[in-house]
Structure 1
Amino acid sequence: METPDGTLPQPETVVVDGVSIATYVLEPPTEAVGDVVICHGTPWSAAVWAGVAHHLSRDHRVHLWDMPGYGRSGTLDAAVDLDTQMSRLARLLSLWGVNRPHVIAHDIGGAVALGAHVLHGVDYASLFLWDIVTLDPWGSPFFKLVAEHTDVFGALPAPLHAALVREYIAGAARRPLSSAWLDTLTGPWLGEVGQPGFYRQIAALRPDHTQPLVRKLAEVRCRTRIGWGTDDPWIPVEQATRLRQSLPGEPAVITLDGVGHLAPIESSADVCRAVDDWIR
């Protein structure tokens, strides 16, 4: 199992509709041949993609963001539903001045990136979707339980909450995550803001926000590719086939054997190779 590498630089704060967003831009050593935008999922942050981002920044300008409610954009004031995150991404790309980027999107970041494209009119050069949340059904029994009892979970004693979050995050991977990665991924969800924020973002994620998106998948206007861990315990790999059949041109599907939901951590080298092949 790999350990955290390629630490992201200090974020630059960008304000979108009154909400502060932590953003990261990695510049190549020479003139950039293009722009790449990376969208993370839940309960993650841009840190999950740091190693892949540094790899791509050899010749591309790479943009990442922590969605409000996540990572260094953690807050209890901003809306964290998918509809709002979709429109934020569209606004953020405009503020960045990024035109037709290559986009890599993971988990709910896939729904956010697709929504910015087909619902808000943002054009991409291409789109690589990794283990994304879009097709029904999604949302584990744990998600449903939290949605019904957010206040109860938010009031858990801090040590019990920390243990629950750590176990939940560990369960996303096929093989054990290192202690360093568990610390990195768990850290934002601890403390007075992190604990209620963890349950709040789960309660805000509802399948009815992806259903309009699913109806428009045939309207995707860029080339696409799909990546999936064959042992993803959260979103079964069979969804990759269904997603392929829903997108124009039936795009290629890259599957990583023995990998769970966190491919950029569990198998960073394989993800880098797949991304190189797709982008070049």
Structure 2
Amino acid sequence: MSVSMSVSTGMSSKMSASTRESPLPEPVHVTVDGASIATYVLTPEDRTPVRDVVFCHGTPWSSEVWAEAARHLSGSHRVFMWDMPGYGRSTKDPAMPVDLASQMSRFARLLAHWGLERPHVVAHDIGGAVALGAHLLHDTEYAGLFLWDVVTLDPWGSPFFRLVADHADVFTKLPAALHAALVKEYIAGAARHQLTPAWVDALSQPWCGASGQPAFYRQIAALRPVHTRPVVERLRQVRCAVTIGWGEQDPWIPVDQATRLQDLLPGSPPVITLGEVGHLAPVETPSRVCRALGDWLA
């Protein structure tokens, strides 16, 4: 495994006046087996960290969805975040594989690079599949795992997601303005209630422009249930305590998947459901998510 590290000198974490200002610092780029990964490490300013917490995002998101929760926990914990290759501020090199199997392997290697042996891991959407895959297929160990609206069980993927996956070459050729409108509508549709324009802009920005547009469709085309099925087959072998969180009005992954997942995991882990919340709980109701995470870590 090859690993190198550099501080990003790219886009500032402060968005334009029309969008939100990110609470995240500039990322440090770590190269793992040829993939440049944007990473963030937040630490308490005036105390020894209680424990290590790692956040994993999903699609079509980035570390931004966990930014407020990460800032909240960093008052007492050492917090680690990463943008998966193909997402956020990490590489969007078309030659870099962005399928789930590749992301699972990278996450295991990134944890080794950070020197984390048994962190607490919080994962959302396909980040849940990635975290479970690193644990079950690559032998990483966690002190605990909190899964939020995760992509694991069949069927997964909205009708739009499946349409794009089958016709990515057509969508890549859309005019830039039409593509931007489509991405913003898709992102806004993940929430139960209307997201602020600032949030829609912040979450859609990485997918616009000459590299962002093809990257958006490339990552969708690469995500296939064939890579989650080996994880599902091994769910009984999970070796850490798990908690499950879900938005009761998740329009992308129905809340009944939470109880299905509960039945497949050892020990029938607790399930926390949030009323009037869609697929984006960390953005829609960060205070409730932070409270749930605080109780979990306590």
Q: What TM-score, normalized to structure 1? A: 0.98
Identity of aligned residues (%): 67
Structure 1: how far apart are the matches of 2:158 and 2:275?
23
Structure 1, unaligned runs of 5 or more: none
Preserved contact between residue 5 and residue 50 of structure 1 (Cα < 8 Å): no
Match of 1:71 in 2: 88
Report the count of equivalent residues.
278
Correspondence 1:166 to 2:184 = yes
Mapping 1:52-91, distance limit 5 Å: 52-75=69-92, 76-91=94-109
Gap change, CA 1:221 and 1:4, over 3 Å in 2: farther
Preserved contact between residue 35 and residue 102 of structure 1 (Cα < 8 Å): yes
The CA deviation at 1:206 is: 0.2
Mapping 1:201-280, distance limit 5 Å: 201-280=219-298
The correspondence for 2:43, drawn from 14, 18, 27, is 27
Structure 1: how far apart are the matches of 2:71 and 2:158?
32
The CA deviation at 1:194 is: 0.3
Preserved contact between residue 36 and residue 91 of structure 2 (Cα < 8 Å): no
Correspondence 1:104 to 2:114 = no
Preserved contact between residue 25 and residue 40 of structure 2 (Cα < 8 Å): yes
Preserved contact between residue 225 and residue 251 of structure 1 (Cα < 8 Å): yes
The CA deviation at 1:4 is: 4.9
The CA deviation at 1:55 is: 0.6
Correspondence 1:192 to 2:220 = no
Match of 1:41 in 2: 58
Determine which structure has greater relative contact order: mean sequence separation of CA pairs < 8 Å that are 6+ residues apart, divided by chain length: 1
| Letter aligned with residue 79 of structure 1 | P
SS of the residue aligned with 2:30? Answer: strand
Q: What TM-score, normalized to structure 2? A: 0.92
The CA deviation at 1:6 is: 5.8
SS of the residue aligned with 2:89? Answer: helix
Once the two structures are superposed, what CA deviation does each residue of 1:176-221 show, in whole Å capped at 9, x if it has no partner? 0001000100000000100000000000000111001000000000
SS of the residue aligned with 1:13? Answer: strand
Aligned CA RMSD, in angstroms, stands at 1.0
Structure 2: how far apart are the matches of 1:149 and 1:212?
26
Preserved contact between residue 90 and residue 122 of structure 1 (Cα < 8 Å): yes
Correspondence 1:114 to 2:132 = yes
